[in-house]
Structures are given as structure tokens and as C-alpha cells.
């Protein structure tokens, strides 16, 4: 006798959850749980899982469950266990029971982390580590430091504020051309009575709290002052109360889903502060530092306000006169830029970002400054300027002296009057920079010539870009800010008929367009800490849409990161990101208006801030850039630049994916606890091991002892070794190549660490600088394993032994042979790329030291990892950068 399982399935329509709620019954959840047990037991067979699911459904019917009598989750799980045993799958039953026990333990741990007795849908779907990060840094707390919101409420808080940004551009309210006359002050009067309007208005099911309402007021006042509001503020509130804007509930839901499905996350300040008291949503700021005491103190005060609001600051100190120069007003001598950096460092120390973490700074000095040598070596000592990343800014004149001149002579000039102070050798200076970075991972280099090569904004701002945010990926003019966000590319896949993944290009385009609008709204809803920042940010409307999860995506697609196929695929990803975001920015300009200074830029001349358009043959372009340029000339563009690949250390932990466009740091690394060794394993890699019957604690230990890599391990098939590459498997020159592939199409720059093994020389670091400039990079940060005064976290055990060599890819070799024409650069790079025999990365003493206190996470005291140009904690999500 056969059983009609479709009839059985239709007779059970609901299931009772653990919290008592009734939800729709979904047999796929049973199949997936059984399949996971099969995989854990080395039998990844979907057909068996489907057959066993049918048995479970039959058993549920036999037990009397039906539409009128739904089973509980526990009932279903009991039936799975008994079915597995009855069908002769005893070992699978054990695996399922263990899985069930682990799930129960995870639920309990999640409730403990969130300090709650029930879990919302986001808490159930997010990994425990994701929730730990949310709880430690993002969820709102009361004055007793108790968590007061769930993850769902947090994402809703953010989505509502961003959605409010769409409402005031509704055609019933907004006139793009201006000319309307409304009283902005009428709206501002409501700022004094925010408490009276807390949760009084709603859009669909979403209630506006008082800080959402504040955002509505401020944006209305801004648009009314520009003559772009057709209705008075009271009329807007009347329409809101009459539910005339209910359609925007769908937009809010769209933004909410982007975040809760882990497809996209905005930068950390947005998640911390949107719909909350501080209301400051930007990660990146740049301040000026003119050679005037009043201006210096003004910048110091503004920096403190930015740190307090949750942002980080970049400052170029090159306009400050050099140490020992005459100060006419006091008949004294100048103390030099480094002394003023120490002032900002102290301010950073005492003012926590958003009350949650110390601020981050970028300190820049240009190569022509007389104090440049002191600046370069300043951070080689421990404990100096700990709240700073430092970088040397270079221009065409320095580069020409370095690679074109025969004697390398380079003149240092007074910041006060540009009079020559002394002459140095450019080769000696680059050697000093390389040696310092070899020792301490600082300074970085910022190539201002490359940054300004396609800077369409220079004419409008009266000069070139001369500063970046703390991690170097976002160039800004003084008082500009940038709102960043990252798309999780690892999520944008779909399964083919053969079970393998392919990238979903249509979904990528849709996500880019939605998130471009999301970030444009953030500009409007931002509660800026300083009036000058409000003005400058809205004049340029600069956004930084980026990516994360690139390494995980390539794992899913079975594409080696540093292969020709890998580079070409990343090239297409980068081009699509900027093309679709700029095209959407044009669409926004048509409905909302171009950014204020657009007409004064080079956009009307048909120029764009994207190097790939100019430097790659049109036959290699995937998109019609000429058509897009014509649209910009006709309609303008909403945002001066749209794309940046920012650090995503913390965001990647929340999205449960790899960092930015970085390769995976390690497939497996260990954490020692009192009961023994515990291994963190990349989830995609773990799944592949299980599906191929390779998973074991013994193999994980071998991988951890192999610097987190499978390269050279006989137990691991060659195809897995080729695909699952890590940062340590990739030659430093290929790290540069990957960064360059993205830089071709990214409007701003890339947060990337150029990982180097311990045995490289300072000459290799110099060669990396030369190659980076040739590749068109806008900046470079190198990190030699073991180069900090005390080692950051090694992703290895005490027994680590490297079983593989790392060499440049053939793709990289081809680029060098075809593209590098300068004889000096070619000689230096070729010499550095000669194959070396790697040594075990020990410190100079030959002994691995204990990790010192200053290299531990300030929040949880676990070791920090250096990636994407900043330190992050893999335990609690602390980040030395502000965006991720």
C-alpha cells in the first residue's frame, strides 16, 4: 500500500513554536535538519533526506496531528529521531540528536547574550557570534547598561529613519526646482517638544520614535529653506496622521530586509545611532589643520565632537610649520606637526566614539615637509600615537625624483612659504619609509597623484584632495563626511541544476540600486556633529557603497582568488558596482536634484572619477559608460562619488562572511581554552570537508598548524587546495594585484592589507610601494607577519610549520612584463619577486613573545588581528577603524 504524501503534507499546515506562536508548517526545515545530520555522518544525500522527511510526515499523521491539531516543534523533532532509528539509520539518529542538543544549547546561549527569555526572528537566524557583536556594540542599553532592544528592533530603528528620508521627496510634498515658500522655523519649533511626539506617528506598522521625528523635522527645515517643500510642516504631519504615506512602509520593509537577510549593512555609526539620541550616521570625516592657533584649536574641538558622535577623523598636518621654524607672533619656535598630533591623540584617548570605543585617526604628512623623517620613524617605538594610523603623502614631484632622476635629489620645503629648507635623497627617504613599515607596519603611503588624477571635484573645491579617513580608503575635503555601506556578495548566489552555485547578477544590480538610495537617504537623515560638516556633506553628497564576502563568494563559485578567472570575475564585480550605483545616482538626480556643486565640477565636461573608464580598452568594459556619461551631462548626478571598499571587520562578523575584498585570513585557527584546543573554521570550507568525508578534528589541527592553510597537506585534494586559498597562500604582489583590480572601477579607494611573510626584506616592502604606484593604487598598507613590536595574533598554534611556498601568479608576471616600462621600477620589482625560501615567522629574538596589553582588545582582552589596514577582535567585534 502506498501513502499519498502530498495529502499527508496538506493535512498539517501549522506548527507550534517554543514561545507558543503558531506559524506555517515547512517540511523543508525537516529535510534540511536531516541533511545536516547526514552530512555530519559523511553521507550527504538529498534523496535520503527527502525520503526520511516523508516518513516523519507519515508518523505525525499516525500520531493524530492535523490542521486542527498542529504539532509542536518538539513533537516534530521527536518524530525525526524515532523515524531515523526505525529506518535503520542509528548513526544518523545520533548525529541528529547531537545536532538537536547543540541547537538547544545555542538557543540558550543566544538568550543569555541578549539578556532575554525569547528570541525574535533575527536572533534565531543570526549566528551566535553575530549576536555577540550586536549585543556588545550596537543594541541600545539603559543607564544600568542593560540591553533594551532586540536585534529586530535595532534593524527596524535604522530602517525607519532611512525610510523617513524617502517620504519628503514624495511628489505631493517636494518640488525639485525650488520656488516654494514654507516656514522652516515652524518645523524647528517642534524640536523643543520631541518627547510629545515619541511614537505618535506611524508609517504602516512602523512607529516613529522621537529621534525619527527629529530627523523628519531637520530634513523638512533643510528642504523648506531651499524652497523645495510644497506643504507646511503642519500639513505634512496632517497627511502623515491621515496615513497618506503608507506606501513608504514597503520601502522601510525593503531596507529592513536588506539588513536582516545579511545582504547589506551600513557603517557602524549608522547602526549605533540611527533613530537614537546621537543620530550621527557617518564613519568618515576629514578636518583641516591650518597653521593658525585659533584654527588648530577649532579643529581639535571639532575632532572631539566627532569622536563623541561615533566617527573617526583624518587630518593632513603638512600645513603646520616645521619644528624649530620661527613663530613671528611670539618670537618663539614652532614645535612641529608631531606635537599637535599628540594633542589630538590625547583628545582621542579621553573621548570615546559614541560612548562605546576610542576614536580612530589618520595622521598624514606630505613627503616635502621638513619634519618628514621624524614623522616616519615616530611610531616605530611602542606606545606612541596609539590612536593614529599614519601615512606619508606623495605627489608627482617625489615620484619623479625617485624613479626618473639620476641622482634622486628631492627638496624639502617650508610649509609657511614653500622656501627650500634642505635637500635629501628620494631613495633614502623611501628606504626609511620601507624600513619603518617593515618594523612596525607604519607608515602607510598615500599616492595623492593617483587620488587626484581623475578627481572631478578639484575645480569646485578650489584644489586637490589632501586627506583621507582613518583607514585611508576615503579621500575627503576638509569638513566632508562619508557614509559607507557594504553589500555581502557571498549571499548573492543561486543554485544551478547540478547543485553548484552561480552568481546572481540581476539580484546584484537590484541590491546596488537599493543600497545607493539607502546611503543617499543617510546623508539627509544624519544628525551632523558640526554645522560645517552638515554643509560640506550636502554640497557633495559623497557616499561609499562597497562590498564584503568576496572570498566566501569565490569559495562558493569554486574560483581561486588569485587566478586569472578570479581576477577577471572581481574586475566585473567592481565595474558593475560603480556603474549601477552611478546610474542609480543619476536616477536620483532626476527626481531629487543633483548635488549642489555638480555644475562646478568636471561632470558637465563628460569626465568621471573612475580610472577604469580611461585606462582599460573599451573592448574590455562590460558596461556602456559613454551612455552613462551622456545621462550625467543631461541630468546631473546626485552624488559626487558613490563607491568605496571600506573595512568591514565588525560588519563581516554580523553578516557572517569574509572581510571586504580580502582573501580569508585563515581557514582554521585555534583558540586555546582550559579544556583544550578549539577551532574556528570557515563555514563554506567546513561544509566542503564534510560533504567529501574529510572533516575531522585531526585535520583541523593540521590546518591550524599550517598557518590556517590547506596548501601542501597530502590529506586534502588538490582541487580544494587550489580553491580555498588564504591570505598567507597569496604572494604579496598578488595582494596588490587584487587591490588594483578593484581600484580600476572604485571611485574612492580600497581598504586592504598587503600581507607579507616574516622573511621579506625592507627592499621587498619598497618594491611593493613601487608596484602599487604602477598599478594605480591610491594608497598602500603593508603588514609583515610579526612586524609589530609584539606580534598581533598568529593564526597558528605553537606547533606551526609551513609546508608550502608562495610565489606570484602568472597573471601578475604577465602584467609586469607588459605594463611596467620604467627601468628602475621594473628592476626593483623583478629583484623582489625572486623566489625565497620561507622561514618560520619568529620575532627577532627567535622566540615568539607573549602578546602585550596594547595588542589586546580593549573591550574583551582577546588578541587583535590586523586586517584591512586596521586591528579587529574576532571575539567581540572591536575594530580600530570606524566603518566596520
Nearest-5° Cα angle at 859, 858 to 862: 75
Whether residue 443 has a cis bond before it, omega within 30° of 0:
yes
Please give the full DSSP string across 256-311, using - where no structure is assigned. HHHHHTTSEEE-HHHHHHTTSSS----SEEEE---S-HHHHHHHHHHHHHHHHHT-
Based on the residue annotation, tell me whether 868 is a catalytic residue of this protein: no
Q: Choose, from 209, 218, 345, 469, the residue flagged as catalytic.
A: 469
Closest of 325, 300, 296 to residue 416, by C-alpha: 325
Exposure string for 340-362, b = 16+ CB within 10 A, e = fewer:
bbeebbebbeebebbebbbbbbb
Length of the chain measured in residues? 884
Q: Distance between CA 515 and CA 255 in Å, rounded?
A: 8
As given in the structure block, the three cell numbers for residue 546 are 562597497
Q: Distance between CA 486 and CA 267 in Å, rounded?
A: 8
Closest of 38, 28, 25, 54 to residue 98, by C-alpha: 38
As given in the structure block, the three cell numbers for residue 786 are 610579526
Q: Distance between CA 15 and CA 22 in Å, rounded?
A: 6
Q: Is 713 exposed, middle or buried (0-12, 13-18, 19+ CB in 10 A)?
A: middle
Q: Choose, from 149, 156, 442, 473, the residue flagged as catalytic.
A: 473
Based on the residue annotation, tell me whether 145 is a catalytic residue of this protein: no
Inter-CA distances, 15 with 54, 72, 106, 303, Å: 16, 5, 21, 54
Distance of CA 113 to the CA centre of its chain: 24
Strand ranges (DSSP E) for 684-820? 754-756, 779-780, 782-784
Q: Choose, from 273, 345, 366, 471, the residue flagged as catalytic.
A: 471
In this structure, the number of other CB atoms found within 10 A of the CB of residue 388 comes to 23
In this structure, the number of other CB atoms found within 10 A of the CB of residue 3 comes to 12
Q: Are 625 and 579 in contact (CB under 8 A)?
A: yes
In this structure, the number of other CB atoms found within 10 A of the CB of residue 412 comes to 18
SS3 for 539?
Answer: helix
Based on the residue annotation, tell me whether 473 is a catalytic residue of this protein: yes
Place of cell 573599451: 618
Q: Distance between CA 708 and CA 682 in Å, rounded?
A: 10
In this structure, the number of other CB atoms found within 10 A of the CB of residue 555 comes to 26
Sign for the pseudo-dihedral over CA of 584, 477, 372, 302: negative
The residues annotated with a catalytic role in the active site are 469, 471, 473
Amino acid at each position: 500500500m502506498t501513502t499519498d504524501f502530498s495529502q499527508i503534507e496538506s493535512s498539517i499546515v501549522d506548527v507550534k513554536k517554543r514561545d507558543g506562536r503558531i506559524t506555517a508548517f515547512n517540511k523543508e526545515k525537516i529535510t534540511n535538519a536531516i541533511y545536516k545530520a547526514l552530512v555530519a555522518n559523511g553521507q550527504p544525500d538529498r534523496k535520503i533526506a527527502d525520503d526520511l522527511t516523508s516518513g516523519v510526515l507519515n508518523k505525525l499523521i499516525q500520531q493524530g496531528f492535523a490542521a486542527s491539531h498542529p504539532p509542536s516543534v518538539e513533537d516534530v523533532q521527536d518524530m525525526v529521531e524515532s523515524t531515523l532509528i526505525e529506518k535503520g539509520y542509528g548513526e544518523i539518529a545520533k548525529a541528529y540528536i547531537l545536532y538537536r542538543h547543540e541547537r538547544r544549547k545555542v538557543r540558550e546561549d543566544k538568550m543569555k547574550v541578549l539578556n532575554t527569555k525569547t528570541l525574535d526572528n533575527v536572533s534565531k537566524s543570526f549566528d551566535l557570534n553575530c549576536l555577540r557583536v550586536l549585543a556588545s556594540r550596537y543594541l541600545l542599553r539603559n543607564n544600568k547598561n542593560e540591553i533594551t532592544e532586540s536585534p529586530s528592533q535595532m534593524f527596524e530603528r535604522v530602517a525607519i529613519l532611512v525610510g523617513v528620508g524617502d517620504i519628503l521627496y514624495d511628489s505631493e510634498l517636494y518640488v525639485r526646482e525650488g520656488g516654494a515658500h514654507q516656514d522652516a522655523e515652524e518645523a524647528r519649533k517642534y524640536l523643543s517638544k520631541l518627547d510629545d511626539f515619541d511614537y505618535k506617528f506611524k508609517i504602516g506598522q512602523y512607529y516613529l520614535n522621537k529621534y525619527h521625528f527629529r530627523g523628519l523635522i531637520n530634513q523638512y527645515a533643510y528642504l523648506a529653506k531651499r524652497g523645495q517643500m510644497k506643504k507646511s510642516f503642519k500639513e505634512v504631519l496632517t497627511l502623515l496622521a491621515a496615513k497618506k504615506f503608507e506606501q513608504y512602509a514597503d520601502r522601510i520593509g525593503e531596507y529592513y530586509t536588506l539588513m536582516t537577510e545579511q545582504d547589506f549593512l551600513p557603517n557602524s555609526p549608522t547602526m549605533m545611532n540611527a533613530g537614537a539620541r546621537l543620530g550621527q550616521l557617518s564613519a568618515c570625516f576629514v578636518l583641516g589643520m591650518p597653521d593658525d592657533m585659533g584654527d588648530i584649536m577649532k579643529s581639535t574641538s571639532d575632532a572631539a565632537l566627532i569622536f563623541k558622535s561615533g566617527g573617526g577623523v583624518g587630518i593632513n598636518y603638512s600645513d603646520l610649520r616645521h619644528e624649530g621654524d620661527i613663530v613671528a607672533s611670539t618670537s618663539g619656535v614652532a614645535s612641529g606637526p608631531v606635537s599637535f598630533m599628540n594633542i589630538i591623540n590625547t583628545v582621542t584617548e579621553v573621548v570615546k566614539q559614541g560612548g562605546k570605543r576610542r576614536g580612530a585617526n589618520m595622521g598624514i604628512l606630505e613627503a616635502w615637509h621638513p619634519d618628514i623623517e621624524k614623522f616616519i620613524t615616530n611610531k616605530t617605538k611602542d606606545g606612541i600615537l596609539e590612536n593614529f594610523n599614519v601615512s606619508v603623502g606623495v605627489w608627482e614631484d617625489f615620484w619623479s625624483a625617485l624613479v626618473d632622476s639620476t641622482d634622486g635629489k628631492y627638496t624639502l620645503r617650508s610649509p609657511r612659504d614653500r622656501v627650500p629648507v634642505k635637500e635629501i635623497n628620494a631613495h633614502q627617504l623611501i628606504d626609511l619609509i620601507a624600513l619603518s613599515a617593515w618594523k612596525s607596519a607604519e607608515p602607510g603611503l598615500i599616492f595623492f597623484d593617483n587620488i587626484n588624477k581623475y578627481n572631478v571635484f578639484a575645480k569646485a573645491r578650489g584644489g586637490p584632495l589632501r586627506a583621507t579617513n582613518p583607514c585611508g580608503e576615503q579621500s575627503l575635503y576638509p569638513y566632508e563626511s562619508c557614509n559607507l555601506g557594504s553589500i555581502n556578495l557571498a549571499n548573492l548566489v543561486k543554485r544551478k541544476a547540478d547543485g553548484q552555485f552561480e552568481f546572481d547578477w540581476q539580484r546584484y544590480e537590484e541590491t546596488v540600486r537599493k543600497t545607493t538610495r539607502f546611503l543617499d537617504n543617510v546623508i539627509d537623515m544624519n544628525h551632523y556633529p558640526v554645522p560645517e560638516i552638515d554643509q560640506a556633506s550636502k554640497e557633495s553628497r559623497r557616499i561609499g557603497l562597497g562590498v564584503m564576502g568576496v572570498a566566501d563568494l569565490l569559495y562558493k563559485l569554486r574560483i581561486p582568488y588569485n587566478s586569472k578567472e578570479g581576477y577577471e570575475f572581481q574586475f566585473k564585480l567592481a565595474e558593475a558596482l560603480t556603474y549601477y550605483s552611478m546610474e542609480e545616482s543619476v536616477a536620483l538626480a532626476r527626481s531629487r536634484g543633483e548635488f549642489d556643486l555638480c555644475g562646478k565640477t568636471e561632470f558637465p565636461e563628460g569626465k568621471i572619477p573612475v580610472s577604469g573608464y580611461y585606462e582599460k580598452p573599451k573592448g574590455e568594459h562590460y558596461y556602456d559608460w559613454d551612455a552613462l556619461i551622456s545621462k550625467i551631462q543631461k541630468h546631473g548626478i546626485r552624488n559626487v562619488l558613490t563607491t568605496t571598499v571600506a573595512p568591514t571587520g565588525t560588519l563581516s562578523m554580523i553578516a557572517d562572511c569574509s572581510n571586504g575584498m580580502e582573501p580569508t585570513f585563515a581557514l582554521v585557527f585555534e583558540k586555546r581554552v582550559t579544556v583544550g584546543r578549539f577551532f574556528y573554521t570557515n563555514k563554506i570550507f567546513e561544509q566542503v570537508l564534510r560533504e567529501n568525508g574529510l572533516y575531522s578534528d585531526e585535520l583541523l589541527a593540521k590546518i591550524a598548524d599550517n598557518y590556517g592553510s590547506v596548501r601542501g597537506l597530502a590529506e586534502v585534494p588538490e582541487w580544494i587546495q587550489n580553491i580555498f586559498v588564504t591570505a598567507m597562500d597569496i604572494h604579496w604582489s598578488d595582494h596588490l594585484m587584487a587591490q588594483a583590480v578593484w581600484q580600476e572601477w572604485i571611485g574612492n579607494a580600497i581598504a586592504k592589507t598587503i600581507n607579507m611573510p616574516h622573511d621579506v626584506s625592507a627592499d621587498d616592502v619598497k618594491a611593493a610601494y613601487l608596484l602599487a604606484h604602477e598599478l594605480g593604487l591610491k594608497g598602500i598598507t603593508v603588514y609583515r607577519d610579526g612586524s609589530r613590536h609584539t606580534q598581533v595574533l598568529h593564526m597558528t598554534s605553537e606547533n606551526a610549520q609551513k609546508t608550502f611556498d608562495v610565489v606570484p601568479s602568472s597573471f601578475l608576471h604577465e602584467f609586469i612584463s607588459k605594463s611596467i616600462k620604467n627601468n628602475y621600477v621594473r628592476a626593483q620589482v623583478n629583484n623582489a619577486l625572486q623566489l625565497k625560501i620561507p622561514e618560520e615567522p619568529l620575532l627577532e629574538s627567535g622566540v615568539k613573545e607573549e602578546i602585550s596589553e596594547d595588542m589586546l582588545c580593549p573591550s574583551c582582552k582577546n588578541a587583535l588581528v590586523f586586517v584591512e589596514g586596521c586591528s579587529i577582535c574576532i571575539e567581540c567585534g572591536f575594530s580600530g577603524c570606524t566603518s566596520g
